Amino acid sequence: MEGPPIRLPKTTPDQRLALYEDVEALISPGFLSHTVTINYALLSLRSLGPGDVHLLKARVATGFDDDWKVWVIASSIWMVDGYCLLDEPHAAPRMAKMVRALPRHIRNILFSLVTGLFSRSSKAVDATEPYCYEGVSRFRWKSFGGHVPGLHAGIPGVERLGSNHVQRMWTFYNEVEDKRVEEETLWEGFKLTASAQAPKGVKKIDARDQQHRQQELTRRQTLLDRFYYTRKGLLLDLPDAMDSQKAIVDSGSKTADELADEMHRWVSGQEDWHDKIVTEYKRRVSEKYEAEKQERARRADALRSQMTGDQGLAPTTALVGYSAVQLQAMLRERHPGHPGVKQVSAGVNSARDYLYEKYLRREADAGVLRSVDGHLVPTEGRELTNEVAQRLVPFQSGPGDGEERS
């Protein structure tokens, strides 16, 4: 029998900070960089952006050949022996001539480095949404003055590269977030003004707003946790459509064989971890219900003895007056009836008792099946056809609403 899955703890911003290094580099200066030495020449390669891809399509024919690889490498070289080439519009053709003169195995190594930068850029795009929800992201946006971050790189010619996908996503999110904060501030001021005229209505609206904010915070925290544990290799890289909370704690999908095995364990009395959780929950509910039931019976007996007096006649129902404190406690649990008066039933045949007796007190029946030597067989004296034929259809929703009729 398998045990319950391990519930992973919530992560913190400090834990996740190291995973955003490439995201922050793609925001400013706007590219990833890798330095390599070839024949005593120091080359710095960078990740390619959307503008570079557009130029590549115009410079080379379609096809994955050596010439295409040469242009990819040449377009990615942004510094040679300390000389920055970003502000030179025709640097790529000059670099292409140099790359063609290199041996094939050197070109393959350089191309693999560029491919590695491309892979890191793709992973950084997936990490952009979690990064947007971090406090350091908003701080950085404010430190840039709410402008395109390429202007703050401090590298000559970096503005010629254009914006990449991470910059576009990050800028769009923060602009929308600025607008949301502004509108929320105005909305809070409106609620403050309206509370003087309709305090109850504004209180309901404010509670609903608080609920929505909490739901969004929970969703973001779940996404951040899934991102961290996925990058650390503790979780599979699940599709976005899947519930992220199930990605962290999941008992697994059920096939037909697994469902049959689960049914067999239930019939034979074996409980898995899910059954134990349900059993423990039912036990706590039952104990609380029985304790409340005994307390109600004790109060009813005490009330009955006080009201009968010397007459020896016990009423079937009694009216009891409640204090303001007791009424407030009742309001927190259920909707009360008429103020100050509550009917106490002397019997046990209430709707609450009916639901408890029907769904919680009775043990679940495995039906006409039983386990014998690892196989499910019909119970002796009980046949499925007879069980179905003798079953009665209840037309009542609770006690006292009518008789059961077939």
Considering the chain, what percentage of its residues have pLDDT values greater than 70? 58
Instruction: Give the pLDDT band (50/70/90) at residue 194.
Output: confident
Q: Give pLDDT tens digits for 206-219.
A: 899 999 999 999 99
Q: Which residue has the tokens 């079937």?
A: 316
Long-range contact set of residues 111-116: C-beta below 8 Å, sequence gap at least 24: 111/69, 111/72, 111/73, 113/34, 113/36, 113/45, 114/45, 114/47, 114/48, 114/72, 114/73, 114/76, 116/34
pLDDT of residue 214: 93
User: In terms of Cα–Cα distance, which of 87, 62, 54, 245 is closest to 157?
Assistant: 87
Contact in structure between 169 and 129 (CB atoms under 8 Å): yes
Q: What is the pLDDT of residue 247?
A: 42
For the full predicted model, state whether its pTM sits above 0.85: no
DSSP-assigned letters across all residues of 130-151: HHHTSHHHHHHHHHTTSS-GGG
Q: Check: CB of residue 227 under 8 Å from CB of residue 10.
A: no
Q: Which two tokens stand for residue 62?
A: 């379609």
Tens digit of each residue's pLDDT (9 = 90 or more) over 148-191? 665 666 788 888 888 899 999 999 999 999 999 999 999 989 88
What pLDDT sits at residue 124? 95
DSSP count for the chain of H helices, then E strands: 16, 8
CB 74 within 8 A of CB 99: yes
